[in-house]
Structure 1
């Protein structure tokens, strides 16, 4: 794969002095935050279990320092001076994004930032232990305190708006919550009847990979390494590890991914690895000469998820991909020598409404998992649900939306890491799927025979297209403008609905 992180096509050599002074200040903040990201990765992947108390204080000290530098009077003066300078469009975008962060955080007390960071770090260890022991009561006090601290922070940012709405803007600053709700309703209208039809009338699609299990972790690790090689993940700028919950951490120089292995189904780790590669592709595609600037940072959680969902669903779950990759899968998995392309394709796309785990969910029912979480998330933040009521409320909604009840809190309310760190963030997963389908449609207008390239493992043109249309812009454009810049039209659920109705209609004989 060629270098996916291009140099910016603009020069800052003649930038106004006030602007350069502002960037000098901001880069220090960004680099401290980048360092904190490495500490977070270490905590999730290799840190010894007993290191949590020290790590919490390390991260808290870094967050307090960055908060102070971001919100002090010197930064305010630097912003005012840069705002009055004669700026290019890119320079103005950098100033706009720094201003947004400064204004948003200036009223948040430094002591609150420090306490919230330390509590978050400690809560993640508590969550891991509670999940392993299937003991929600162990996590409940930490979760309740984390909610209270996040609400306090949101009220400090803007006391005149609902705390949940303020929290949502941490991840989606430019896509209104009302628009997100409209998209959810469109998806409900399309997905619920499609899922009901498949359950009632669709063909049975058993997985030959599950039938051949269990599969040792070593074999699955080899399969994950092999698919990353096909995708073009560069060893010199990344690495693959295991963690309790798959995630990606890094920047345009160092983007690391994790996965986890489920012995009975190797496709779980396979799709998780591709998903996290998609996140890494975004980070690696950001312009390197903008490292430390808003123009060298990813835009939002929804745009980030569009990259992971594109590579997972529009590449890794396609028939052309399996036409090319199946021989490699057979090299690394035992008992699958007789599996056909049709069987492999069906196995990675079959829907399982009775599945209780979001990260193992199929492409359709996945969004019912997201809607469930968003509704509980909001009710908990707004005080309509107490922490003690969450497990039962979770189980009720699982039964309502998916027709199943978790057998334990570990596979129910405790299954996701997210509540140990943030709230109002699940919407990004669905926005990402919607945008991924729209980007896929636009890409196919520009690139000849995308399916042939996927089949042949010639994926560089796809990554290059994403870099050109999404990655290289960093935070230059707000979300709506970026979507129009990339696809020629506003964000719409139309392409996602058409895509899933066509794909799953064919797969299940609709």
Structure 2
């Protein structure tokens, strides 16, 4: 059972007449740093959505200059003095959380030379266009030198932060410092042990599941209209957001301006639908953060929690039978099909291990895609795998885990943009699914109303409200592991995801 908060409100002001001056000044500095980060987010959105290809060199220089300015401001001696002054003052719990999060960023940043920060940002920005071109040309060799350079730069950064520890572990803690890598890897190993035999068993049953989109082509205008219709009903705030297309769907923004993207394929309309709902889930987190704390850690999301929000809306709402009971007519109106709710439910939940693309993978085999990536990048960062060996290593693991081998690098190791921005982040996708199932169980226990009936009636507000109350409104007040336990009543565990998967797919495929 999720905990009912009894402590001081997370949305209460952190500045009043009694607030220590050092904290006031630190808060002003923290806000400016957050605003600079948001500028970088808008530049990233523009690069992926609207910027002409020829703008890449200038954008790399802009992002590099911005990262250098941010680094200088964060690591300035005055920041350290203000942190020391704030720690010595009498602070409330929310104020202490702001100082804790800012100090962690400060202490890590002061160990990394500004020139290296600038070089990483510039190289990463340039790499996005190089990756995009290499993917379009199916030529990993064109991206390999840049990828190797990025690896070396990020290893150098990790060694500046802590030269005595494994660089990959340091990188992971940069993504989320609150969940130990050992625990996350143990969850991945547990899932692999549970999912591989479950998937094999489900495949052996070979039920005749519906696929209403197997034949035909569905134009982008119809897919976009349907995506927008879903966003309307789910409660996306168009006054604070927008929908666009990009090579790789993503979400960027804050509680005041949170933008999502999707992509359309004529032969796979469900891919766009589920991608849009997924990104909507990310947006609900950002838009649910307290507006009065914008620019401070109390108004910022927890990175490793983010994927739980997208997975909750995609899987525990968008893949339910109740969802398609409500929206079958809507789908048929947009696509000219005659699919039943059961047809759409089956189509949304079919497993197909022979799929090559992670973002198009089904709910179960998706995690084998994640394990594959985590293993490859960990070996690459450690220097145990040379860059030119990545395509073969990737294809070998695809064949071992999923029984399929990519014919091209575009379908293999070039399909993800993530390595242009760093390493050790893929695990968060599986953690997100695990946490989404745990949150879903807590939500269903807490709410007085039947969640499936709410979904079937299109009444999504109670779901929004529960997530805002138990996750969004806290921002970064609590470390991720404490936030998870407060929201669900227990530490992160894979148990709920495994139980959910066995029950759902066992029923769908015939126990």
CA–CA separation in structure 1 for the residues paired with 2:325 and 2:10: 35
Following TM superposition, by how much is the alpha carbon of 1:204 offset from its aligned partner in structure 2, in angstroms? 3.0
Secondary structure, in 3 states, of the residue corresponding to 2:478?
Answer: coil
Following TM superposition, by how much is the alpha carbon of 1:98 offset from its aligned partner in structure 2, in angstroms? 0.2
Q: What does the per-residue CA deviation read over 1:461-492, in whole Å, with 9 as the maximum and x for residues that have no partner?
A: 10111011000101011111101110111111
CA–CA separation in structure 1 for the residues paired with 2:432 and 2:347: 23
User: Which residue of structure 2 aligns with residue 483 of structure 1?
Assistant: 484
Give the TM-score, by structure 2 length: 0.97
CA–CA separation in structure 2 for the residues paired with 1:20 and 1:333: 56
CA RMSD of aligned residues (A): 1.0
**Are positions 1:263 and 2:266 aligned together?**
yes
**Residue correspondence of structure 1 range 144-223 to structure 2 within 5 A:** 144-211=148-215, 213-223=216-226
User: Which residue of structure 2 aligns with residue 390 of structure 1?
Assistant: 390
CA–CA separation in structure 2 for the residues paired with 1:176 and 1:234: 35
Secondary structure, in 3 states, of the residue corresponding to 2:259?
Answer: strand
**Are positions 1:116 and 2:96 aligned together?**
no
**Residue correspondence of structure 1 range 39-438 to structure 2 within 5 A:** 39-211=43-215, 213-300=216-303, 302-334=304-336, 336-337=337-338, 339-438=339-438
CA–CA separation in structure 2 for the residues paired with 1:45 and 1:170: 27
CA–CA separation in structure 2 for the residues paired with 1:79 and 1:117: 26
Q: What does the per-residue CA deviation read over 1:199-223, in whole Å, with 9 as the maximum and x for residues that have no partner?
A: 1123132411232x21011111111
CA–CA separation in structure 1 for the residues paired with 2:330 and 2:343: 15
Decide whether the 8 Å contact of 1:7 with 1:289 is kept in 2: no
CA–CA separation in structure 1 for the residues paired with 2:292 and 2:10: 6
Secondary structure, in 3 states, of the residue corresponding to 1:210?
Answer: coil
CA–CA separation in structure 1 for the residues paired with 2:156 and 2:10: 40
Unpaired stretches in structure 2, ≥5 consecutive residues: 1-8
**Residue correspondence of structure 1 range 8-27 to structure 2 within 5 A:** 8-13=11-16, 14-27=18-31
Secondary structure, in 3 states, of the residue corresponding to 2:213?
Answer: helix
Following TM superposition, by how much is the alpha carbon of 1:7 offset from its aligned partner in structure 2, in angstroms? 8.5
Secondary structure, in 3 states, of the residue corresponding to 1:108?
Answer: coil
CA–CA separation in structure 1 for the residues paired with 2:440 and 2:192: 22
Decide whether the 8 Å contact of 2:83 with 2:103 is kept in 1: yes
Following TM superposition, by how much is the alpha carbon of 1:9 offset from its aligned partner in structure 2, in angstroms? 3.0
Decide whether the 8 Å contact of 2:14 with 2:95 is kept in 1: no
Secondary structure, in 3 states, of the residue corresponding to 2:264?
Answer: coil
CA–CA separation in structure 2 for the residues paired with 1:465 and 1:375: 35
CA–CA separation in structure 2 for the residues paired with 1:16 and 1:472: 24
CA–CA separation in structure 2 for the residues paired with 1:34 and 1:330: 39
Decide whether the 8 Å contact of 1:97 with 1:294 is kept in 2: yes
Secondary structure, in 3 states, of the residue corresponding to 1:439?
Answer: helix
Decide whether the 8 Å contact of 1:127 with 1:139 is kept in 2: yes
Decide whether the 8 Å contact of 1:210 with 1:266 is kept in 2: no
User: Which residue of structure 2 aligns with residue 3 of structure 1?
Assistant: none
Number of matched pairs: 501
User: Which residue of structure 2 aligns with residue 492 of structure 1?
Assistant: 493
Q: What does the per-residue CA deviation read over 1:298-345, in whole Å, with 9 as the maximum and x for residues that have no partner?
A: 112x200000000000000000000011111111112x12x1111110
CA–CA separation in structure 1 for the residues paired with 2:10 and 2:158: 37
Following TM superposition, by how much is the alpha carbon of 1:10 offset from its aligned partner in structure 2, in angstroms? 4.0
Secondary structure, in 3 states, of the residue corresponding to 1:209?
Answer: coil
CA–CA separation in structure 2 for the residues paired with 1:326 and 1:492: 34
**Are positions 1:450 and 2:447 aligned together?**
no
Decide whether the 8 Å contact of 2:25 with 2:82 is kept in 1: yes
Decide whether the 8 Å contact of 2:398 with 2:405 is kept in 1: yes
**Residue correspondence of structure 1 range 463-474 to structure 2 within 5 A:** 463-474=464-475
TM superposition outliers: structure 1 runs of 4+ over 6 Å = none
Secondary structure, in 3 states, of the residue corresponding to 2:208?
Answer: coil
User: Which residue of structure 1 aligns with residue 3 of structure 2?
Assistant: none
CA–CA separation in structure 1 for the residues paired with 2:144 and 2:230: 39
Secondary structure, in 3 states, of the residue corresponding to 1:258?
Answer: strand
CA–CA separation in structure 2 for the residues paired with 1:190 and 1:249: 34
